[in-house]
Each structure stands twice: as C-alpha cells, then as structure tokens.
Amino acid sequence: MAAKNTDRDNSQEEGPHFGSKIGLICSCLGCVVGTGNVWRFPRIVANNSGQEGGLAFLLVWFMFLLIWSIPMLMIEYGTGRYTQKAVIGSFREFIGDKAAWCGAWISMVTFFISCYYSVVLGWCFYYAVYCIGNELPETAEESRQIFRDYAEESSWPVLTHAVAVIVAGFSVIQGVKTIEKVNMVLVPSLLLIILFTFIWSLTREYANIGITYLFSPNWDSLKEPRLWVDALSQNAYDTGAGLGLMIPYSSFMTRENAVVKYATLIPTTNNLISLLSAILIFSTVFSTLTLTRPQIGETQIVDIVKDSGPGSTGLTFIWIPVLFSSIGTFGRVLCVLFFICLSFAGVTSLISNLELTTHTLYDFGVPRKLGAPITVVVTFLIGLMSALNIDILTNQDFVWGFALVVNGIMLQIMVISYGVNQFRQTIINEYSLDDWKLPRLWGWIVMFVAPLEAIVLIVWWAIDLISNETAEGEEWYEFGRETFITTITQWAVLMAILITVNLVVELVWRKQRVLSDEYERVYDQNSMDNLSDPTDPPHPSYGAIHDDTHSLKSYKDLTL
C-alpha cells in the first residue's frame, strides 16, 4: 500500500492541482453555491409550509444534510482525490469496467441539468442588464409581460444561453488554475452581495412577520410525501450531493487536502447560505407587501411566495423586480445587485458542471483544449430545446432534479461493491495526512440508512405522482411536463442506452483480451521454436494476431 500511495503521490505532483487552500475552498463553494440557493430554495420552502410556516420542512431538510448530502460528498471527495479521475474513470477503477455505465449515468444526469441550468443563467444575465437600463415593473402583470416578451416570445434566450455556456466554458478550457482564479473573484463577491442584501432585508419594517412565518412549525406537513421528497432533492441540489461535480474537482487535490473537513464544512456553509437567502426573500416579500398592499393577508402573501410561474420563475423573475420597485431608486440598485448575485452564483456552478463533462472526455484521451469546446457546443445544442420552449425546461428540471437520488444510489453501490470499511480506511483515513478521521457511523449510513431512505422516497414519490395530478389535466400515465410516466420513460431510455453501450464495449474488450492472450501464447511458442531452429518461419497466424493486438493496444491507449 505504501508503494501504491507513493505512485499516486508522484502522479499528483505531476498533474494539475489547486494552488492554495483559499482557492480550493472558493472553487468548491462556487461549485455548490448557485441559483438553487436563491432561485429555488425559498420557493420549495414555501410550497411545503402550508399556511402555518416552514419550520417542519427546514428540520427535515437539515436532517438530510446529515444523513444524505454529507455522506455522499464524502464519497465524491475521497474518490476524486484518490483516483485523479472523473466519475466514469473512478467507477472503472473501483469496481471494474462492468460498472462504467453507473458512472456514465451520474455524468449524463449532471450534463442534462447543465443544459437547462445555462438557460436559467442566461435569464439572470438578461435581467441584470435589463434592470440597469429600464424602470422596474410596478405590478405582477407588467412583470409577467416583461418575462413573456423575453423568454417566450423572442429568441433572446438563445443568445443569453450561448453567452452563459461560453463564459463558463472559457474558464474550463484554461484548466484548474483559471477555474481557481475565477472562483476567487466571483465567490467572495457573491457572498458580499448576499450578506449586504440580507442585512438590508432585516432592517425593513414588518420583516419580522416573514421571518416568524419561516420559522413557525406546521407539523401536519410531515405527513406529506412531497415534503420529504422535496427536502432530500433540494438538499442534494443545494450541496451538489450526487451530481458527481466534486469528483473531478477533488481530482485536483493532494493528500494534504483534508477531504473529510471539506465534505463537512462546505455543504454546511452552503446550506447556511440557502437559509440566509430564504430569510432575505421572506422578510423582503412580507415587509414590502405589508407596506404597499395592507389589504392583503398572510395567506395571499404566502401564495405569492409559492407562485412558481412559467419555468419556476414566479418569485425570482416575476415578483422580485416588483418588490424592489416599491422602494424607489435604491430598490433598483438592489434589484441589479440581486441579479448580479444570481449571475455570479450561476457561473461558478456551471463551470463545475462543464468541468465534469470535460474531465470525463479527458479521462478517455480527449485533450482539454478539444474536450472543453466539444462540451460547450453540445451543452448549447441540447439546451436549445429549453431555451426555445419553457415547458421543456420545466420538464427537464423535474425529471433530472429528482434523479439525483438515483445518483446517490449509484455512489452507494460503488462503495459497497468496493468495501465500505476498505473505502473508509484506505481511500480516506489512511490516505489523508492531516484530516478528521471518518467514523464507522459513516459506513452504517452508506450501507443501510442512505439506501433505505432512497428506496423509500422513490417509492413514496411514485405513489404521490400516481395518486395526484402534478398539474391541471396531467394524469400520471400521460406524457405531461411533470408526470410519472414522463420521468420514468426518460430515465429508462437513458439507462438502457448506457447499459447497452457498456455491454458492447465489454464484449469488444473481452474479444480483444482473448486475442491478446492467444498472441502471447503463440509468440512464446514461436520464441521457443526459434531457439531450437532459427530458420523456421513464424507461425502462420502470427501476423493476423499481431495486427489485432496492435489495434487492441491503440484502442486501450485511447480509452484509458
């Protein structure tokens, strides 16, 4: 083991890695702190709060941080640092080529998320510029029309989507050093904007009403399967657990980087940012509407927070401009800062998404300077569907957002197949130089608790979708935007393609290995014959076998 670790140390020293701890921390935070914290989290809390409050959801959400997100991120951090590969390469190293399709599933789910995520990032770019050059809308109807004119009745989303993937792709093509430098600028700027607007929101009159509602319990909501499903999927979405993003990022780490500390503190910090964002949004919405529309009650205000709008845009892109417009000139400044904040958060997260695909191609022999442009182009082309049709974006967010639970199951399978205790000791505890020790409790969570909660939630989620309409007129067996059959069909098609490709490649490699073994046998026999009679011609099959084996070597050089 010592010799093996020495070889890995030498490989790490030769390969690219983060230049400083602060750069590493900013990059990892940038990876997980994204628009989901500000754009998605407050709405998910509101949708699971009823009329009483959101405390019950927050408690379940925090519980899943401890028994799902942090344990899954321990796997990702440890895996990438040890293998120095992305997701597919890591699965192949730990449990063999037969499991490559599991790593491919994780990579593809994250890729599909990045395709529509870049469209949402393009919206943030547009609104940041729009709010600088135009007066803010004063009513929700005006605001909805602005969004419709931009996102549904024009081709501008194609351009902003392209800008988003190009900006993120430029950082990825330059490698880890540029990724680190970009995050060291954007992440502190993002945190300062969030902190500034958070403090401002607390000074607002009647802000306490929104905060009181947020932290008031609605215990009956614990009976709803949707709350548990949303709490787990949102926590995974928030922290990046199951996305596989931390595997390529941690491949730039060395043994000196404390992965247990990072996998604990970074997602905890990320969830704290989500909570601050929720307090910011709830206090701003309640205080502003109470001051400007005293005739509406708490129930109507909660309904506004829940308003998802087209493509889950309601609160962020419809109501935030309206709320800030009531504050006057300073409100416009705050609105610009808000969308710049969202843009920074989106860029740092999209960089990590594109890095996963680029690093995967690199593991298969595609140079970064070629792999990054390929990733950018394909992401743009697939994302065009979401840019041109907001219903497709809504569908993709629904289908692949919950697929993160399946991703977690794949990571658990990898560790269980390799050996939970062996992974804990060899990959993390013994391989780390200055880190917290990973306790046995983590192994019990990965072996028993996490798989059980994943299976229960998937079944509960399916029953809930089958029992209720997900949208008006959409039954579970219809191909709607957010129906059970739509989700399962897309999952099944992707899984069938990946398993088929994996089997075909396995058969090709197996055939080539047989040819290689035969070549070795014939070559050894010819060598022995030539020792006795040097004038004997080579075996007649030598040339053909040699050609096949040469092809095998070239193929393996490309793929490995």
Residues of each annotated binding site for Na(+): 30, 33, 37, 270, 349
> Binding site, residues?
30, 33, 37, 270, 349
Per the CB < 8 A criterion, the answer to whether 114 and 350 are in contact is: yes
* Interatomic CA distance for residues 198 and 345, integer angstroms: 16
* Interatomic CA distance for residues 293 and 280, integer angstroms: 19
Q: How far are the Cα atoms of 143, 191, 246, 343, 378 from residue 164, in angstroms, in the given order?
A: 23, 21, 21, 9, 13
Radius of gyration of the chain (CA): 26
Query: How far is it between the farthest Cα atoms of the chain?
Result: 106
Q: Mind giving me the DSSP string for 149-200?
A: IIIISSSHHHHHHHHHHHHHHHHHHH-HHHHHHHHHHHHHHHHHHHHHHHHH
* Interatomic CA distance for residues 462 and 460, integer angstroms: 5
* Interatomic CA distance for residues 34 and 476, integer angstroms: 31
Per the CB < 8 A criterion, the answer to whether 136 and 331 are in contact is: yes
* Interatomic CA distance for residues 343 and 123, integer angstroms: 9
Q: Which of 325, 341, 332 is CA-nearest to residue 280? A: 341
Distance, CA of 226 to chain centre: 21
Tokens describing residue 541: 């099959």
Among positive and negative, which fits the CA dihedral 405, 410, 411, 412?
positive
Q: How many residues does the chain have?
A: 560
Per the CB < 8 A criterion, the answer to whether 254 and 16 are in contact is: no
* Interatomic CA distance for residues 544 and 158, integer angstroms: 52
Q: How far are the Cα atoms of 66, 74, 442 from residue 69, in angstroms, in the given order?
A: 6, 9, 12
Strand partners, 474: 471
H-only helix segments in 246-297:
246-250, 259-292
Per the CB < 8 A criterion, the answer to whether 23 and 184 are in contact is: yes
Strand partners, 471: 474
Residue 139, classified by CB atoms within 10 Å of its CB into exposed (0-12), middle (13-18) or buried (19+), is: exposed
Q: How many C-beta atoms surround the C-beta of residue 328 within 10 A? A: 10
* Interatomic CA distance for residues 167 and 174, integer angstroms: 12
Cβ neighbors of 515 (< 8 A, separation 6 or more) are 545, 548, 549, 552
Tokens describing residue 526: 């010819």
For residue 455, the one-letter residue type is: I
Distance, CA of 55 to chain centre: 26
* Interatomic CA distance for residues 72 and 65, integer angstroms: 10
**In the chain, what is the straight-line distance between the N-terminal and C-terminal CA atoms, in Å?**
22
Any idea what the Cα angle at residue 472 is, between residues 467 and 478, rounded to 5°?
60
* DSSP letter assigned to residue 425: I
